[in-house]
Structure 1
Amino acid sequence: MLQGSSNYSIANSSGTIIFVTDDEKIFSILHNPIIEALLNRHLKVSENLLKLSFQNIYDPSTDKFKYYHIIFQLNGKWLDVRNENKRSIVVNNKEPWVHYKQYRRISAYLDEKKSIQLIIGETTVQVWRKKDRNAKSKRVLEYIWTNPGNQRILIDSLSIGKHEFSLDLKIPSKHNSMSFLGINIHWPQNTHTLKEACETLEFLYNRRNEPVGPKNQNKFESLVHDTEKLVIHIIKKYPNVWKLSEIRFNLMANLIRGHRINLIKRILFENTSLRNNIDCPVYICRNLHVPRLHDLKNSIKKSDLQIAIESSEGAHRKIVAMLLEYYSNNAMQNTGWMFTVSKVIPLLMERNLDIYIKEMFYKPCFGAKEEYLDPIFINQKELKRGYNRSVYALNVKPGLIQKQEQKSWWKKVKSVRPSFKRNKEGKPEDLPVTNLRVVPLPDFTVYPEDIDKKAPKWKIPFLLIKILLKPRGYTLQEDHQRSSFLRFIRQDENEVLYDNPAMEACINFKWESARNHFIRHIILYILYAILFGIITGVIDYKKFEKISYLYYFIFYYLGYYLLSKEIIQLSYDGWKYFTVYHIVDFLACVVPIVSLTTFYTVKIFKPWELFEKTRVITITFVILLLWFELILLMRFFEKSAHYINMIVNILYGVSTFIIFILLVIVGFGHSMHFLLRHPDNIYVNPSGANFEADDSSFKIHQIYDLNSTSDNYYRKLPQSIIAVYFWMLGRWDQLENWNFWPVTVLSIIASILLVFIMQNMLIAFMTGVFDETKSNVKQAVLKFRADLIAEYEAIEKPFGNTRGNPRYIYYVGSLESQEEWLAKAEKYKKTHKSLLDRFHKFEDDDTDDDDNYIDEIDDDDDDFNGKHQKHHYRGDTSISNIEEEELFVNDGKISKSKEKQKLKDCQNNLEEKINDITNRISSVEENLKELIKLVKERK
């Protein structure tokens, strides 16, 4: 028993278990002599090891062994492996990447029966155990260690005993060839078998191209298979050991860098059975892998998902898909599984793996992950507003309720009216918090530390003065300064990725602050446009002359301010700045200033009457430009943004066809110009009408001036093209006056092409683009808002972000929108071959499966025959091409009923896909019929 009082309390302090007695004495349980004796008895290192001597087998003059492979007995005696019975040798050559056959290696038996063999090669230390004769495999790998530096190891000393050995190695330093690093391997007491096996798999992948010939390649793949089998055996028998070791040594990173796809699949998706019901067992995921961003010493490290993305190449990208599938499935239970995903979404975009993001965004956790929060943390006004929308983000601030501070006199005055209203109408009832959901991307909108912080109070006045003199610049210039959300927006060009409630909630949460910023921009522009109208006389204002200088000053100041904002944004966005919206914004700032300045500059040198006509025409088009800008600024509001986006998308959609129509018009205009520019040369004169008055003696004759464009539209090429364009609108002026058959032929051809065919085709194209745009208008508006948020988030904010950057974003919405999105996600899953759902779930039991593995290849140096043809050299870059059925075979065979059920499910899925294709073909036929009908009606 522990010495001390019979009454004591146990506590845990910084990893140390202590207990306190009644007399206030503190003892450490692990340092108690009795506990230490119990622990040391199990951890005691054997002292009966026999140190081996290399005196007769080592030549100091050449610094080499005399024999290429010697093998020690348990009693310390040794012999050349060529003199040993081949049936006694467990393994002979387990480093197939070494190109010369007789490379130096040392072996030792670790028991009297010679069933356990230690073999030390150039870069590895391995322990193999011989299995029973009845077993399918002849040997099994018990332990393997590899030199991480891929350098030849030097043996300093070797001691062996029954079922154990102690090996001292010297490894040449990478930086200095004269210095060595000493390593001690004491198996099995002081070794980390699981850690070193996982490191071996990474080591073997890096040497995958070194084995030469089919024989060595098969040996190499067999060693990879045996190492995987060792890892699987430990995971299966001791899953908790794997969990703790994975946290301590970051084993998953070794497997990812080793591209062990099938092994990682088993770790992530292997299920364990609950034996409560034998007839219908329930399988649950064992969660053998946990995402982390910090190592055991609490230092920041790369996440396993980031390592997988950086290591992804070709078929090995499946690891990324498997990790995303694993995290998103577990996120339905707890969104904390996704915190590493939040960090790497921009990296997925950089590596062109956005297809995996699209697949992941259709997972249920992105639209149906419900949460519970105390209603006291939720604003009732926001909650009421949110239930009337499809998605509405809440500004939730969970935590301890702050103590109410004493109100100032101004706050007391402001609170009089609301309190009077509550007393009159009665206290409103709190709405129940239902259908509260959360964005399953923790820290998605959180900036790195010390970024996007509120400026100190003493700096705020100076920053405000700076803002008055110069527009706010962009503070977030580099990617490492931006949040994952902001980096995702700047890299993404696909509107489809915004088609889920979670991303809509993120944009909704951030839009409130950004919207206020852009509304201030609208106000400045409206004031700028009004001042331009007053100064130029477009708006009659009688008091203008009295304070004209003030108006001029404010106009030029606003023009400078708005233009500076556009220039700053141009320098920040680069080529992305050149969109329809930004180009119109820039012209609306520049053109009024330039035109007004030009007018008053010319007025100094010339009388005002000489260029009055030019001034009026210029101001007319400037006014039109300002109105266009005002209309486009309405894109900052939700409803009007839908219409503007639809108009812009329709113009983009039919722009190519419009250009084609214009080319046809130019062709006909050019033909008509060449035909009728000099009609006198071809003896063609137009025939006009003659008029004669009955009551007078005079007659009116129509005379044509063929050199004037008013009488001959086709005299000049630009006017000829304009005249042909108006043919599409039904204006065929002057054509009836030309009694000339080529004119008739050209007009008939033009009427068929331009009016009957192209005009109706344009209407049909616009209808199709409209329908497509209408179905995707919500995603387009969200994408547009996201770009505006990215612009706002990057600018300098003296007061910081008003809504903050919470770790979790909560949102509410209507049940109808949630059910609609779930149906859309389910339809997407059925009609698309999902990349994240290809990984079948493993069913395992408690029996050992070592005997079910394929037999190993005989690794004798000289013998190789056709009986070991289960492995085939494939000549690719994969380490191991062992089939999945060979690697992960369950002990119990699948029953026939399960096979029939799987076959039935496959048939049902095939029938669903056939029905879906049939429905799509029918829909296409109906659309074609409607289009043909529409064309006939237009005719």
Structure 2
Amino acid sequence: EEDLQVNLSEDKRIYGNLILERLKKNVEQDMKTLPLDNYFIEKGPNSDEDKCFILNPDHQKVDLDKYHYIIEPWQLYSKTAKINPLYSAYLDKNVLLLIGCHTVQVWHDQDKKKKTLEFISVIDKSKTRVDDGTNIKQVKYGKRKFELEVRSEDSKSIESIKMGADDDIVHAVKEACESLKFLYQIYKGSEYAISLSNEIQHIKFKEIVKQTRDIIVRFIHLYPIVWRLLDIRFGLLNILIEAREYQLIKYILFNEKKTIDGPEARILKTLNYLVSKSETNEQLLHDIDPDPNSLLHEKSLHMPQYSAWDGGNNAIHRAFEDEDPVFLGYFLEYYSNKAVEEIGWMITVSELLPWLYDKENENYGFYKSYVQLLFYKPCFCATGLNIPLFEFLEIPPSIDDSLEVYIPLTQLISDDSELEVKEISRDKIPDIQMVPLINFTTFENMSSKRRKNDYKDFLKTLRAAFYPSKYVDLKKYPIPFLQLVNKVENYPNDPFYYNPSMEAAMNFMWHSSKSHWRHTLYIFIIFIFLGYASYVGLNQSSTVYDIYNGSEVDYTMIEEEQDNTFSNPFSAIIAAYNWDSNSFDVWGFWPLIIIGVIGNIIFVIILQNVIISFMSAAFEDADKEGKRAVLNYQSRLIYDYALLEDSAFTTGYSDFDSKLKNKLRVRYVCFYNELPITKAWKEESKEWESIPIYLNAESQIQTEDESDFFIKKEDIKFIWTSTENEKTAEETDNKT
């Protein structure tokens, strides 16, 4: 049976190859070769005007429409190239293939006034200098298809540019993005500035750019899912960033349909339309689902990538490194808006946040304003819990008036685990919010398993009792939260300390590090008490001195002993409470003692009432500022502890791990949304959430004109699809 299956598979492979070869021969038979030695440009009657020709479907030279005389307007004053097409041929009765020095263009002439660009590609993407076309080796063309062979700049390989099959439609949009990048380099380069200063050439150039953008917009409307996949595979938005396509990127990210109809909603919408048309006796159109928002596209055309497909920078990192800050503003606004529904949208933002505080960056002013607005976005206190079925580790509030934190355990729990976990009650789930930053309190390379060694652990504990721990380099442990704390700890008024998600992350980090500070606190307490001489066996010198005459005491001197109220901690506390270093009974006059006590009480009462009456509002501010000061101080302690060589963050082993009998992977951080605590932040965020993050940077963009993406619904199509080919061919035959 195995031999039979092998034979059958081989037969299938043989027959499959035969079929492919047969189809390939049929395709090649339909293709014609364009003669490259023909001259498609001749001098006209006037010496200043050239006459252009094109091969018709019958392979005969005919006059080219003057609209297509200029396909590369930037070469008007070039010495080695022309603005006219070098080679041209009809792919159909109204589809033209035009080949210039830099680009290959396919135009669809529906009528004299309606001409659309269906394809544009840069012949050699590695350079932008003028070429005379000698690198073109062969051109084959057929009915709505062509293949162009080009020798690369190093003359070692031959590349092909082709269109014709249904799947080739993806090449049209990819090449359009690359062409926009090329056209931007042409427009900003000094080499072609003189040519584009000509009004006619400038208008033609802007028309080519607009038509190229329309290819992308049409593709997005027809194939939104394919665009999303192409963006992931080829990084199309990265290319558009290099092309400085501000309006197009903004259109892709934000011009979304507000709602996407499900199957039932679409059926009801269709039935309502049919009923309304039948009642009015109107003729039904082919499109029975008219969309008033035809310019809006499907949601989420761009997806965040933790790393690019080719290993390079993802979109947001490419935007961060760009000299123009507006692109980063677009992505931060887009991701933060999406994160309200799903926190995965912010997966690339976590490690980027600390970099926004880098003062050495040339765009520091813009980036600092970005992060200020970002911390007031709703996603930081409105992202509901979408993993309620997990068990949670409860972290109590670190201070009064703080948030209760929950850590979902997304890993298997061993039977011998001593870690206390629980499920969140259904009543609490609606008020549980998620910090929209994944892996914010950990880093990817941290060991997932704990290698326990009792002997080494004992030596570390013994060493810590006598020697201070060493500090390590933070770069070796790139925990986003710690890197962010390192940047903001000197700015106690930063919105970081107001943000509930940041507070929740800090509560967890403090809980992981507070055991270290308990030990340190005990050392300080011991040091304070041992600071008194009497507790370490050192007594004050005697106040009685005896003078001996031989062996007998001849004279005794007694020094008057002064009362030292700070001789021990308890008397020192009482003296500080009395606001004086001397007790009232020194004078031995009891009325003075009574007057002093009553006077102190009256003075305190008067002062208390004055403060309450004049500073009631200040107390509220003091409470707010006091909490922020505590969080700032906590963050400093967390950062100091985290850099220790044997801390829970550097060793990857904490008290939770010892109880879990495994490494606790803290991927998500959640918190209970207590309105009294988060109310102030929500009220303040309402003033800022409506302001786009990119607003300040976008207002400083110098653009020549606003891009218009209006396309009629009947024009949102391509000639490359089989259905469109058949339909157009049928219409052409009917006209003839």
Decide which of 783, 794, 797 is 2:646's aligned counterpart: 797
Cα displacement (A) at 1:40: 9.3
Q: Does 1:140 align with 2:117?
A: yes
**What is the DSSP-based 3-state SS (H/G/I as helix, E as strand, rest coil) of the residue aligned with 2:472?**
coil
Match of 2:377 in 1: 363
Cα displacement (A) at 1:507: 0.5
Q: Residues 252-297 of structure 1, C-alpha deviation per residue, up to 9 Å, x if partnerless?
A: 111122221211122122334635558999999521111112344x
Q: Does 1:252 align with 2:237?
A: yes
Match of 2:206 in 1: 221
Decide which of 123, 127, 132 is 1:150's aligned counterpart: 127
**What is the DSSP-based 3-state SS (H/G/I as helix, E as strand, rest coil) of the residue aligned with 1:208?**
helix
Higher RCO by CA contacts (8 Å cutoff, separation 6 or greater): 1
Q: Does 1:342 align with 2:350?
A: yes
- Distance across 2 between alignment mates of 1:891 and 1:160: 30
- Distance across 2 between alignment mates of 1:101 and 1:775: 71
**What is the DSSP-based 3-state SS (H/G/I as helix, E as strand, rest coil) of the residue aligned with 2:210?**
helix
Does 451-460 or 516-525 show the bigger shift? 451-460
Alpha-carbon contact 2:405-2:504 (below 8 Å) kept = yes
Alpha-carbon contact 1:69-1:107 (below 8 Å) kept = no
Match of 2:89 in 1: 109
Which amino acid letter does the alignment assign opposite residue 636 of structure 2?
D
Give the 3 Å change call, closer, same or farther, for CA 32–541 of structure 1 in structure 2: same
**Aligned residue pairs, count:** 577
Cα displacement (A) at 1:776: 3.1
Give the 3 Å change call, closer, same or farther, for CA 235–481 of structure 1 in structure 2: same
Counterparts of 1:191-210 in structure 2 under 5 Å? 192-210=171-189
Q: Residues 73-117 of structure 1, C-alpha deviation per residue, up to 9 Å, x if partnerless?
A: 1479687xxxx7453663423251675166155221133636413
Decide which of 18, 30, 35 is 1:48's aligned counterpart: 30
Cα displacement (A) at 1:301: 3.7
**What is the DSSP-based 3-state SS (H/G/I as helix, E as strand, rest coil) of the residue aligned with 1:180?**
coil
Decide which of 395, 411, 421 is 1:399's aligned counterpart: 411
Q: Does 1:164 align with 2:16?
A: no
Match of 2:530 in 1: 531
Give the 3 Å change call, closer, same or farther, for CA 48–336 of structure 1 in structure 2: same
Match of 2:709 in 1: 887
Cα displacement (A) at 1:528: 2.3
**What is the DSSP-based 3-state SS (H/G/I as helix, E as strand, rest coil) of the residue aligned with 2:228?**
helix
Which amino acid letter does the alignment assign opposite residue 90 of structure 1?
H
Cα displacement (A) at 1:442: 0.8
Q: Residues 285-321 of structure 1, C-alpha deviation per residue, up to 9 Å, x if partnerless?
A: 521111112344xx644221111121142xxx33322
- Distance across 2 between alignment mates of 1:459 and 1:43: 74
Q: Which has the larger radius of gyration?
A: 1
Alpha-carbon contact 2:530-2:536 (below 8 Å) kept = no
Decide which of 166, 184, 188 is 2:164's aligned counterpart: 188
Match of 1:423 in 2: none
Give the 3 Å change call, closer, same or farther, for CA 543–139 of structure 1 in structure 2: closer
Q: Residues 427-471 of structure 1, C-alpha deviation per residue, up to 9 Å, x if partnerless?
A: x99785432221011112222414799676264455445545532
**What is the DSSP-based 3-state SS (H/G/I as helix, E as strand, rest coil) of the residue aligned with 1:157?**
strand
- Distance across 1 between alignment mates of 2:298 and 2:92: 43
Match of 1:518 in 2: 517
Cα displacement (A) at 1:235: 0.9
Cα displacement (A) at 1:339: 0.4
Cα displacement (A) at 1:45: 4.4
Which amino acid letter does the alignment assign opposite residue 334 of structure 2?
Y
Match of 2:99 in 1: 119
Query: TM-score, normalising length from structure 1?
Result: 0.53
- Distance across 1 between alignment mates of 2:108 and 2:227: 22
**What is the DSSP-based 3-state SS (H/G/I as helix, E as strand, rest coil) of the residue aligned with 1:784?**
helix
Decide which of 68, 78, 98 is 1:100's aligned counterpart: 78
Match of 1:777 in 2: 626
Cα displacement (A) at 1:232: 0.7
Cα displacement (A) at 1:130: 2.2
- Distance across 2 between alignment mates of 1:239 and 1:202: 22
**What is the DSSP-based 3-state SS (H/G/I as helix, E as strand, rest coil) of the residue aligned with 2:157?**
strand
Match of 1:333 in 2: 341
- Distance across 2 between alignment mates of 1:446 and 1:544: 50
Match of 2:717 in 1: none
Which amino acid letter does the alignment assign opposite residue 158 of structure 1?
V
- Distance across 1 between alignment mates of 2:519 and 2:622: 30
Give the 3 Å change call, closer, same or farther, for CA 805–140 of structure 1 in structure 2: same
Alpha-carbon contact 1:74-1:108 (below 8 Å) kept = no
Give the 3 Å change call, closer, same or farther, for CA 188–53 of structure 1 in structure 2: same
Give the 3 Å change call, closer, same or farther, for CA 770–811 of structure 1 in structure 2: closer
Alpha-carbon contact 1:194-1:245 (below 8 Å) kept = no
Structure 2 unaligned spans of 5+: 41-48, 274-290, 540-561, 577-612, 657-663, 715-736
Give the 3 Å change call, closer, same or farther, for CA 220–786 of structure 1 in structure 2: farther
- Distance across 2 between alignment mates of 1:239 and 1:31: 35
**What is the DSSP-based 3-state SS (H/G/I as helix, E as strand, rest coil) of the residue aligned with 1:882?**
coil
Which amino acid letter does the alignment assign opposite residue 221 of structure 1?
K
Decide which of 796, 804, 814 is 2:674's aligned counterpart: 814
Alpha-carbon contact 2:122-2:175 (below 8 Å) kept = yes
Q: Residues 411-432 of structure 1, C-alpha deviation per residue, up to 9 Å, x if partnerless?
A: 9xxx9xxxxxxxxxxxx99785
Alpha-carbon contact 1:70-1:107 (below 8 Å) kept = no
The structure with more helix, counted as a fraction of residues: 1
Q: Residues 781-815 of structure 1, C-alpha deviation per residue, up to 9 Å, x if partnerless?
A: 22332222222222212653425551111222424
Alpha-carbon contact 1:265-1:839 (below 8 Å) kept = no
Cα displacement (A) at 1:56: 6.4
Alpha-carbon contact 1:451-1:481 (below 8 Å) kept = no
Give the 3 Å change call, closer, same or farther, for CA 503–108 of structure 1 in structure 2: same
Give the 3 Å change call, closer, same or farther, for CA 508–459 of structure 1 in structure 2: same
**What is the DSSP-based 3-state SS (H/G/I as helix, E as strand, rest coil) of the residue aligned with 1:322?**
helix
Cα displacement (A) at 1:389: 5.2
Counterparts of 1:676-687 in structure 2 under 5 Å? none
Q: Residues 755-782 of structure 1, C-alpha deviation per residue, up to 9 Å, x if partnerless?
A: xxxxxxxxx9999988755443323322
Cα displacement (A) at 1:363: 2.0
Q: Does 1:292 align with 2:309?
A: no
Give the 3 Å change call, closer, same or farther, for CA 290–33 of structure 1 in structure 2: farther
- Distance across 2 between alignment mates of 1:828 and 1:188: 51
- Distance across 1 between alignment mates of 2:203 and 2:527: 78
Alpha-carbon contact 1:74-1:160 (below 8 Å) kept = no
Cα displacement (A) at 1:834: 4.2
Alpha-carbon contact 2:119-2:176 (below 8 Å) kept = no
Alpha-carbon contact 1:359-1:836 (below 8 Å) kept = no
Alpha-carbon contact 1:157-1:169 (below 8 Å) kept = yes
**What is the DSSP-based 3-state SS (H/G/I as helix, E as strand, rest coil) of the residue aligned with 1:227?**
helix
Alpha-carbon contact 2:333-2:692 (below 8 Å) kept = no
Cα displacement (A) at 1:367: 0.7
Which amino acid letter does the alignment assign opposite residue 693 of structure 2?
L
